[in-house]
Structure 1
Amino acid sequence: MATYAGGANTEENNQTVLSTLPKELPLDFLRTITDQFSDHRILGTGAFGTVYTGVMPDSQRIAMKKLAESAPVARDKAFTNEVQNIMALHHKNVVKLVGYCHEGQKKVVQNNGRYIVADVYESLLCYEYLPMGSLQKNLFDKPINMAWDARFKIIKGICDGLLFLHRIPITHMDLKPQNILLDNNMILKIADFGLSRLFGQEQTRANTQNVVGSYGYIAPEYLYRGEISAQSDIYSLGLLIIETTTGEKNNPKQNEPSAREFIERVRQNWTEGHIASRYSKLNANGLQEVKVCIEIGLDCVRIDRKSRPSIESIVQRLDGRCASKRANQFSTTSMRS
């Protein structure tokens, strides 16, 4: 899903309309604040449905995803996944779900050539509003000239958010640039939990015959064997890190679910000399950060899931690199030699 929304922050003693709303919202109210789901309120459309901007009576905005009947998983399951898995989550790098609606209305529908009156349900999910849109938009669709510091901040935010999810433990199963959203301060939020899995404390893996996801970001063990684990997310994370670092898009060929060609191209091309040329204005410490991110990304996309790093080790490595500011291992001179 391309874009969601936010702006649900409230100041003490100054509650907004949004902050006083119940979690379960009436369908008529959601219709009203989207002008009856008007086309001019559409933020984006994806496999799981259409996202609209809703404008509250006090002018606050929310984003509202109206789930599609033709979603990759059953609409009721996608709805349950998001409500159960993220309703109570509170982390600065995970999108906040502020409300939901699952309401039926009687409508005349055609069934086997006859018209009958049936209960037709609408499923909607309401999120905080994130005005900068998706990472996809900012990196590739309408790219901005993003400095390395902003890219590194995004990478660290994705990793911090994923660490929070994996400790619950929730596996996201659909990490891609379209599902990483940004606020005005370039703080990112992981979004779209329609394919997510909540594991029990003793369960760390599962298998399925119904493989769904986004070509180019699906881990090979899930794609070919239906194996689901936290390491499935690590594979997708690696591609996100590589794309954010290099600014190059992972574009698998039509009907080709694998990202191997993209990965091999990065492995071959992004040498120390290329990094120094691409980021010629960075100091030695910044160049080292770029190198480390490329290395982490390539570690994450190893074919054998057991050889991929854990999210804990990735966060520790990024935090250590950020805190230590040790650049003597990667001087500009050595890179250009």
Structure 2
Amino acid sequence: MANKESVLSTLPKDLPLDFLRTITNNFSADHIIGTGGFGTVYKGIMPDKQLIAVKKLAENAPLARDKAFTNEVQNMMALRNDNIVKLLGYCHEGQKKVVQNNGRYIVADVFESLLCYEYLPVGSLQKNLFEGPSNMPWHTRFKIIKGICNGLLFLHRIPIIHMDLKPENILLDHNMTPKIADFGLSRLFGQEQTRANTQNVVGSYGYIAPEYLYRGEISAQSDIYSLGLLIIETTTGEKNQPKQNEPSARGFIDQVQKIWTDGHIASKYPQLNPNDLLEVKVCIKIGLECVQIDRKSRPSIEKIVERLDGRCAN
């Protein structure tokens, strides 16, 4: 194992751009493993064949590229938790390029911002739940839900608010252990701070808490709202798909509330034993509590973890 990690362990955290170009075959299309609002993720093949994921930040990201880069590096470099993606290194390097400016060609420093993470071959929860046939057994779904909650508990104790929890930002390792990824929108709060306000609301439609969406209020409960939708989607296997120009998940939530009765759960999971069926019911109940409109009515992440571990009454 020491051999396998040798090249990576000898590298500086601040990686040269030329090295990242080499391991991604000059950011070639056949190395792309994912794309999103913040940029493109490439598979990097190290000299000893170990794989890493290299995210090249987009210039037109929903948050200024420098801000997203600073957020990820500052908020993630020291994080070590089984349910958080490991940030292995970064690169912010300028190179002189000829660019057009007001009709004239000039030589300017053009900066590239890149982030390097552990490589997770199974891909995102989104891909595994909703893209292709999903026959994920209940015990795997429950393990994923518990893992996401444990990762969020770790973040909220710092306190870091993730601000963009959704199936695309949960990555799975070969043991189906979930890892929270993409900290481009994350906020590090001061120890005494529990809430903040912003005019600049950015995030993913269908997962944004209403108080943040309509009033710009940010708090740990913003993440709890998104977590509730993640728990509901993972439990039911149904996708939260907000309508065009409709940022709220209200329709999806109302539908789940109406349809997912005890009888429906039993018919949906006929092969489950009584204990497993109870887990499904508890997950739907917790998920629906997390998406209440009044943020103060949502459970804390500590309470959610306790309930999932069976340490308190449901």
TM bracket, shorter-chain basis: over 0.9
2:149 aligned with 1:159:
yes
> How far apart, in 2, do the equivalents of 1:16 and 1:313 lie?
41
Aligned partner of 2:292 in structure 1 is 302
User: Which one is further off, 118-127 or 135-144?
Assistant: 135-144
3-state DSSP of counterpart to 1:245? helix
3-state DSSP of counterpart to 1:73? coil
- Seen in structure 2, the aligned counterparts of structure 1 residues 44 and 310 have a Cα distance that, compared at 3 Å, is same
Instruction: Answer yes or no: is the 8 Å Cα contact 2:38–2:62 preserved in 1.
Output: yes
> How far apart, in 2, do the equivalents of 1:153 and 1:249 lie?
19
- After superposition, the C-alpha distances for 1:25-46 in whole angstroms (9 at most, x for unaligned) are 0000000000000000001111
- After superposition, the C-alpha distances for 1:55-104 in whole angstroms (9 at most, x for unaligned) are 00000000010000000000000000000000110000000000000000
Aligned pair partner of 2:177 in 165, 187, 211: 187
Aligned partner of 1:71 in structure 2 is 61
The one-letter amino acid paired with 1:175 is L
Q: CA deviation at 1:320?
A: 1.4
Aligned partner of 2:187 in structure 1 is 197
Q: CA deviation at 1:12?
A: 4.5
For residues 247-266 of structure 1, the aligned pairs below 5 Å read 247-266=237-256
User: TM-score if structure 2 supplies the norm length?
Assistant: 0.98
Q: CA deviation at 1:144?
A: 3.0
Instruction: Answer yes or no: is the 8 Å Cα contact 2:4–2:48 preserved in 1.
Output: no
Q: How many residues align?
A: 314
Q: CA deviation at 1:13?
A: 6.8
Aligned partner of 2:205 in structure 1 is 215
- Seen in structure 2, the aligned counterparts of structure 1 residues 141 and 169 have a Cα distance that, compared at 3 Å, is same
Aligned partner of 1:54 in structure 2 is 44
3-state DSSP of counterpart to 2:164? coil
2:194 aligned with 1:230:
no
- After superposition, the C-alpha distances for 1:294-333 in whole angstroms (9 at most, x for unaligned) are 0000000000000000000000000116xx9x9xx9xxxx
Aligned partner of 1:333 in structure 2 is none
For residues 1-337 of structure 1, the aligned pairs below 5 Å read 11-12=1-2, 15-320=5-310
> How far apart, in 2, do the equivalents of 1:19 and 1:144 lie?
37
The one-letter amino acid paired with 1:177 is P
- After superposition, the C-alpha distances for 1:184-227 in whole angstroms (9 at most, x for unaligned) are 10001000000000000011110000000000000000000000
Instruction: Answer yes or no: is the 8 Å Cα contact 1:137–1:143 preserved in 2.
Output: no
Aligned partner of 1:8 in structure 2 is none
- Seen in structure 2, the aligned counterparts of structure 1 residues 106 and 14 have a Cα distance that, compared at 3 Å, is closer
User: TM-score if structure 1 supplies the norm length?
Assistant: 0.91
Moved over 2 A (4+): 11-16
The one-letter amino acid paired with 1:111 is N
Instruction: Answer yes or no: is the 8 Å Cα contact 1:23–1:99 preserved in 2.
Output: yes
RMSD: 1.3
- Seen in structure 2, the aligned counterparts of structure 1 residues 242 and 134 have a Cα distance that, compared at 3 Å, is same
Instruction: Answer yes or no: is the 8 Å Cα contact 1:217–1:259 preserved in 2.
Output: yes
The one-letter amino acid paired with 1:208 is T
The one-letter amino acid paired with 2:227 is L
> How far apart, in 2, do the equivalents of 1:61 and 1:88 lie?
21
- After superposition, the C-alpha distances for 1:3-27 in whole angstroms (9 at most, x for unaligned) are xxxxxxxx34764211211100000
- Seen in structure 2, the aligned counterparts of structure 1 residues 14 and 252 have a Cα distance that, compared at 3 Å, is closer
Instruction: Answer yes or no: is the 8 Å Cα contact 2:96–2:107 preserved in 1.
Output: yes
Gaps of 5+ in 2: none
Gaps of 5+ in 1: 1-10, 330-337
Instruction: Answer yes or no: is the 8 Å Cα contact 2:4–2:50 preserved in 1.
Output: no
- Seen in structure 2, the aligned counterparts of structure 1 residues 126 and 15 have a Cα distance that, compared at 3 Å, is closer
Q: CA deviation at 1:141?
A: 1.1
> How far apart, in 1, do the equivalents of 2:3 and 2:251 lie?
55
The one-letter amino acid paired with 1:314 is I
> How far apart, in 2, do the equivalents of 1:275 and 1:213 lie?
31
